[in-house]
Structure 1
Amino acid sequence: MDRRHFLAAALAPLAGCANVDDAETSTSRTDTTAVDDSAFEPVPEGDWERADAPPEWERAADRRIDRHRRGDVTVAVSRDGDPVPDADVRLRLRRHAYDFSTAYNVARHWSSDPDGPYRRWVSRLFNEAVFENAYKWRQWTAPDGHQRTHGVITFLRANDVAVAGAPVVWQNHEKDVLPDEVWSAYENGDIDRLRELIDDHVRTLVGHNAGDHGVEDWVLLNEQLGFHDFTDALADAPPTRSPPLRHWFDIARDAAPDATLAVNDYDILTLDRPEHRDRYADLVTYLLGGAAPPDEVAFQSHVTTPDGSIGPAEQYARLDRFAGLGDIDLVVSEFDTPGIADETAAGDYLYRTLKTVYSHPASAGFRLWGYWDDQHWRGDAPLFRADWSKKPGYHAYVDLVFDQWFTDVRGTTDATGEFSTTADLGRYDLRVAADPETVSDVRAMTDPDGETRLRVEL
């Protein structure tokens, strides 16, 4: 979900994560028992030790985060048009404006205990999930594909987790992701039939899941740089500038006008492959020139070999390059570190990467490719071991998402009936208590520039 859709989606009650610590401000006081704490859910706790003297890359990232991920907010309380001083105020983050996401497996969901950790942790740690396999073409068209998937959408939405979809078009001949009919048309040279099948798939998968199902965030084009058999057959053009690519974005946009559409590829924020990055930039530039340009450019970010990791300065420079291509958001779509054998080093890398990416003003989301070793393509997920014990990566993630980047403040209004603070961008639970009334509401704070004023009339 990109920033264009945050306000609309946040109108429904959405889960997020909240800080367990209270932050005092210049107008606050400790005697705020009139604001009921019982309605606030407990949040994950971590055990990450931050450096006493952060390195320069981290200090620079923190400065950017202060600039781009936080804003000034004032709660103005009145009664019958007059300001109310000494009203107790609590402002607690309910959902980030930023997507903290994970891959989620439909088959594992149905085989898991309804009260078990696989289902429980997805809503405690994330505000978005993407189906790991269920939207791959072969699985989606299986006899029970729709029903099983829709049941999981219902579960996630009931637990305040937004649902994203991936991939729509993935021409991978090495994976069992495409129906036999598609390969038959390709292998038999039936280009008209191949074109018809792909067009219909884009239209029906994206269109069917919009609306009532609320799935409007899609990786539309996946791994075009490495797998392009179909576009080679459909057009006499290089893989990065093939007309069918723009056509598929046009179809998806017609099927779901409000959808967020992404192009996704690998080895951009990992490894040292400058020619590969050049080709991805060429692909993104070509798509941005179409009638229905992508909203997001996505980077898979799997670290599968010991030499796959890169430093924060290089990560930021690569993000900057793609942000400079046009009006487009940046997302990390598939992060994990099975190539880093040492768990502590893997946790450090998650910390550095997540903070670096979050600090970039064009970044809109960060997705782990799973969170538990027993449901991970390499058996080495970032957060939990097979027995659900917590890895260093869990503590790094929680320290950032549930501590450093969360606002939970209490205070009292001043003589003018106002309480002011600085807050992380997102949607908030707001409680105001002034004898004899208590008012509860959900309000958005999404502008890092200027001041957001939240007016409460008692």
Structure 2
Amino acid sequence: MPTASSTATTGSRRGLEHRWHEATLTVRGPGGEPLADAEVGLEQVRHAFAFGNIGFDFVGLANETSAPDHNVFGGAEPQEAAGLVDLWLDVFNTATLPFYWAGFEPMPGHPDTRRLLRTARWFRDRGVDLKGHPLVWHTLAPDWLAGLSDAEVETTLRARVTREVSDFAGLVDTWDPINEVVIMPVFDNEQATNAVTRLCRDIGRIPMVRLAFETAREANPSVRLVLNDFDLSTAYECLIEGVLEAGIAVDAIGLQTHMHQGYWGEERTLATLDRFARYGLPLHLTETTLLSGDLMPAHIEDLNDYQVPSWPSTPEGEARQADEVVRHYTTLLSHPAVEVINYWGLTDRGSWLGAPAGLVRADGTPKPAYHALRGLVKDEWWLSPTTWRTDAEGRLTVRGWAGDYLVRASGASTGFSLDPAQPAVEARLGRS
């Protein structure tokens, strides 16, 4: 049995030293006395780092409905989602909820607030943090918005942002208030230019960002707001610089990494992270995918243009995906600016573009990539239940990833948090 001079730790730390934190834990009894020379059990219960995934699969389940037409945001059908709950919760602690305006408010004045509130509470009851995505976006803007004048569109946008951020305050306190602004004023589709693009073209990108960000922050001053984009070219850097120079408060920079055309590799990934870390803001990897089937051809410029009748997961692709998931997550976490990694889809069922990008097959069985990621999150980067002995002052040195931990002794238990800003923590035992 390790003594107090030993250190509780686990897993490989190569390249991830900054993720491991050490603190002196003083364990006290119910009366406040140090629990000296005592056997104590330690275990981790939660990561502080946000290991995320979308929560679209569980909207129907949380609302106890099996009607397929309620699954407007994609993902598994409600009747299939029950079998995915444990798989999701065993790896992820942060969920992105869908607020795509066309699906959320198909008719003006009839938002899907009630169902999404139930879904948010369902996740929070299970200890999951939440993010809303997105509030202002040219894609999936409701058709009814197009008939309004620019002034009316702006007023309606502000009201929409205020409503959602206010209604979900305390449940969803992180948002993408606006999405993919780089392409917003030039976005076009088969129909007439949508109203969001039209307004952005009229007033400009930075005023659109200001509209979304400042309206959201007025609705909830404690909200965390992410500027998110798939275009990671210098155009995005120019946008970020313009937004910051304009005095718009941004809490994190969102980077989408849908790797449908192949894994980027460590060198390109780190170079991209360095480019955006120079702004001094946390980096959120908001939309991450790696395929377990055939890769999309390299000549495709817009991923949405690739349409195939069938896109299956394959044994060779699954082995490749598992290897790449480990490499990608390890590379991302090696960079100190990365605060969030959000994988875009647990399952292949209803996946974006029909791609085999899920960590679970369409039949609900986990792929090797799921097991590989879980092995990192809940094994290599996790402090498993272990017994230690305190010293004469009831102290023990604990080393692990930032997060929540549990200490047990003599039938009593209590929790404590490992935080890099706190080199010394105390845990006072109560009855379990």
State the aligned residue count: 374
Q: Deviations over 1:228-283 (max 9, x none)?
A: 254664565664xx323123211111111111111111153xxxxxxxx2111111
Distance 1:421 1:265 in 2: 38
DSSP-derived class of the 1:228 partner: helix
Residues 416 and 425 in structure 2, CA contact (< 8 A), matched pair in contact too: no
Paired residue type of 1:361: P
Distance 1:81 1:386 in 2: 53
| Structure-2 residue corresponding to 1:266 | 230
Residues 203 and 255 in structure 1, CA contact (< 8 A), matched pair in contact too: yes
- Which one of the candidate residues 18, 23, 26 is aligned to 1:73? 23
| Offset at residue 64 of structure 1 (A) | 4.2
| Offset at residue 454 of structure 1 (A) | 2.0
After TM superposition, list the pairs within 5 Å mapping 1:60-209 onto structure 2.
Answer: 62-67=13-18, 69-78=19-28, 83-105=34-56, 106-109=58-61, 110-111=65-66, 112-113=78-79, 116-131=82-97, 133=98, 135-142=99-106, 143=110, 145-172=112-139, 177-185=140-148, 190-209=149-168
DSSP-derived class of the 2:257 partner: coil
Paired residue type of 2:337: A
Distance 1:457 1:400 in 2: 30
Residues 299 and 331 in structure 1, CA contact (< 8 A), matched pair in contact too: yes
Which sits farther off after the overlay, 283-292 or 410-419?
283-292
Residues 3 and 391 in structure 2, CA contact (< 8 A), matched pair in contact too: no
RMSD: 2.6
Q: Which runs of 5+ in 2 are unaligned?
A: 67-77, 187-195, 295-316
Closer, same or farther: CA 220–250 of 1 in aligned 2, 3 Å = same
DSSP-derived class of the 1:336 partner: strand
Identity among equivalent positions (%) equals: 27
Closer, same or farther: CA 251–450 of 1 in aligned 2, 3 Å = closer
| TM-score normalised over the length of structure 2 | 0.79
| Structure-2 residue corresponding to 1:454 | 426
| Structure-2 residue corresponding to 1:284 | 240
Residues 217 and 260 in structure 1, CA contact (< 8 A), matched pair in contact too: yes
Distance 1:291 1:422 in 2: 39
Distance 1:198 1:284 in 2: 22
- State whether structure 2 residue 264 is matched by structure 1 residue 301: no
Paired residue type of 2:276: F
Paired residue type of 1:196: T
Distance 2:60 2:324 in 1: 27
| Structure-2 residue corresponding to 1:210 | 169
Distance 2:207 2:359 in 1: 41
Distance 1:199 1:332 in 2: 27
Distance 1:373 1:127 in 2: 20
Residues 287 and 344 in structure 2, CA contact (< 8 A), matched pair in contact too: yes
| Structure-1 residue corresponding to 2:289 | 336
| Offset at residue 118 of structure 1 (A) | 2.3
Distance 1:144 1:198 in 2: 13
Residues 210 and 256 in structure 1, CA contact (< 8 A), matched pair in contact too: yes
Paired residue type of 2:341: F
Closer, same or farther: CA 118–395 of 1 in aligned 2, 3 Å = closer
Distance 1:82 1:303 in 2: 55
Closer, same or farther: CA 420–305 of 1 in aligned 2, 3 Å = same
Paired residue type of 2:91: L
| Offset at residue 102 of structure 1 (A) | 0.7
Paired residue type of 1:180: D
Paired residue type of 1:104: G
Q: Deviations over 1:107-138 (max 9, x none)?
A: 5534334982123322222111112x4x1112
| TM-score normalised over the length of structure 1 | 0.75
| Offset at residue 417 of structure 1 (A) | 2.0
- State whether structure 2 residue 413 is matched by structure 1 residue 440: yes
| Structure-2 residue corresponding to 1:319 | 273
Distance 2:81 2:155 in 1: 44
Q: Which runs of 5+ in 1 are unaligned?
A: 1-23, 30-49, 51-58, 269-276
| Offset at residue 339 of structure 1 (A) | 7.7
Residues 305 and 340 in structure 1, CA contact (< 8 A), matched pair in contact too: no
- State whether structure 2 residue 390 is matched by structure 1 residue 413: yes
Distance 1:144 1:361 in 2: 39
